[in-house]
Amino acid sequence: MMKIYFVRHGQTEYNYIGRMQGGKVDSPLTEKGIQQARTAGIMLKDTVFDRVYSSDLQRAMDTAKYIIDENKRNELVPVPEKGFRELYFGTWEGRYVEKIKEEKEFVHLRTSPQLYNPAAHGGESYPELIERAEKALFNIIEENSGAENLLVTSHGITITTLVRSLAGVPLENLRKGGIVENASISTIKVFQKEIEVLDFNIH
């Protein structure tokens, strides 16, 4: 049996000021975000991780490092994995949420994933996100067949979409209840190719 712990990155500067931050645009963790990451690390300090993976975006990589600092196995180095990047927002990347929040597709992004069509702004769809994130997940499961615990640091929409999709939640309901909080922990169990969601958005 393997457990995989997904942790969203800590609060970033763009989270704080309300700018879009997806699969390409990045910003550093705030002091609050660093503390959030350390707190997640303390919650997981007794979990012996066999390997640590992270979205290759710096906010997720830094979060992984702060978590590892608090862990018994603090010599681990996070392995970057592009498949765990945030949903790509195209030309919306870096824009202030306040400027686009009334646009139809932005409303769909937040409330109706099955209707969200990012073609006009060159973004990524929810089915595309699910496909790449699941591929990355199944790859690390295969690469670590004898492992007991893996850590993955990633992003709000990515973790929410991936974990809820694995739990069998239909596309139209993926965003109900919002997305996972900064530095929250969501856990899945993998046993003989069966996946069970154990925890979601714990913080």
86 is catalytic: yes
9 is catalytic: yes
Which segments are annotated as binding site for substrate? Answer: 8-15, 59
Catalytic residue among 70, 75, 81, 86: 86
Q: Which residues, in sequence order, are CB contacts of 92 under 8 Å at separation 6+? A: 20, 22, 100, 106, 121, 123
The CA radius of gyration of the chain, in Å to the nearest whole number, is 16
What is each CA distance from 132 to 12, 42, 44, in whole angstroms? 24, 30, 27
Cα 30 to Cα 10: distance, rounded to the nearest angstrom:
8
Which segments are annotated as binding site? Answer: 8-15, 59
3-state secondary structure of 162: helix
Q: Which residues pair with 197 in a beta bridge?
A: 188
Q: Which residues pair with 79 in a beta bridge?
A: 53
Residues serving a catalytic function are 9, 86
